[in-house]
Every structure is written in C-alpha cells, then in structure tokens.
Amino acid sequence: MPTKVIVDCSTGETSIVELTAEEIAELEASRIAAEDQRQAAEVEAAAKAEAKAALLDKLGITEDEAKLLLS
C-alpha cells in the first residue's frame, strides 16, 4: 500500500503513514491527468512539426534556409 511521510517541523519527528483510499484515488487521478497532458502536448508538437514541414515543402526551402531568411 502506498505511504506518505509526515514531518512535524516543530519537533523534528517523522512518521510514515499509509494513504487513505481517497488519497490513493486523488493520486491516480493526478497521474492520469498528467499523462493526458503529456499525450496532448506530444500530439500538438507533432501537428506543429507536420505543419512546419508542409510549409517548408510548399515554399521549396529547407529549415536552414528558412532560419537564414528569418535572422
């Protein structure tokens, strides 16, 4: 079972406590949300890369040539 560490700063005592079912559910929901965000970012990056490649192809220039033009 997952655990958490609780530190009492006033006494310096630490204790290890098992997570409650609610905390485990929140942890899992956070993990799923983070994974969804990561996947969405990957999809967005791939779409931008495809659009960039298509534009460069349409213009008939390389990425280096585009950088040179924009510098």
pTM: 0.65
Query: What pLDDT, in 10s, does the model give residues 34-69?
Result: 999 999 999 999 999 999 999 999 999 999 999 999
Confidence category of residue 9, pLDDT binned at 50, 70, 90: very high
Structural domains counted in the chain: 1
Closest by alpha carbon to 19, among 37, 36, 6, 34? 6
Cβ-in-10-Å burial (0-12, 13-18, 19+) of 19 comes to: middle
- Give me the domain span that covers residue 43: 3-70
Residue 25 reports pLDDT greater than 90: yes
* Backbone φ, ψ for residue 59 (5° rounding): -80, -15
